């Protein structure tokens, strides 16, 4: 297997894992998503987004649910800058952010 394929496979496995954190919360994620979207930050939008993220987080936390919930939650964390998933290959000296 080529090193890039292996890194992509490892990244995907990492994205399928739920990891508890203590340095950001749902409100932080919601605010960052709104900022990135260039939408007006109304309280209604923030509340709806928080509610959706709360549900998604609950689905991601439950190990019996499909991996797609954890992947989506983790990708949102990467998009908002809350998490970075790095794969490092010492032979190639490349760092791949996913």
Give the Cα-Cα-Cα angle 84, 67, 50 (nearest 5 degrees): 65
Interval 87-97: pLDDT, tens:
544 444 343 44
pLDDT at residue 22 in the model: 67
Interval 31-43: pLDDT, tens:
899 999 988 888 9
What does pLDDT average to in each consecutive run of 10 residues of the chain (98 residues)? Answer: 60 82 83 90 91 95 94 90 60 41
pLDDT at residue 51 in the model: 96
In 3D space, the residue among 20, 81, 31 whose CA is nearest the CA of residue 53 turns out to be 31
Buried b (16+ CB within 10 A) or exposed e, 1-37: eeeeeebeebbeeebeebeeeeeeeeeebbebbbeee
Check: CB of residue 36 under 8 Å from CB of residue 49: no
């Amino acid at each position: 297997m080529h090193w890039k394929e292996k890194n992509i496979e490892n990244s995907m496995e990492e994205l399928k894992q739920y990891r508890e954190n203590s340095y950001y919360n749902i409100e932080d994620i919601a605010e960052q998503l709104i900022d990135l979207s260039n939408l007006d930050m109304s309280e209604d939008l923030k509340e709806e987004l928080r509610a959706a993220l709360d549900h998604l987080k609950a689905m991601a936390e439950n190990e019996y649910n499909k991996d797609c919930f954890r992947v989506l939650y983790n990708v949102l964390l990467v998009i908002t800058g809350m998490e970075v998933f790095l794969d490092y290959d010492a032979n190639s000296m490349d760092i791949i952010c996913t």
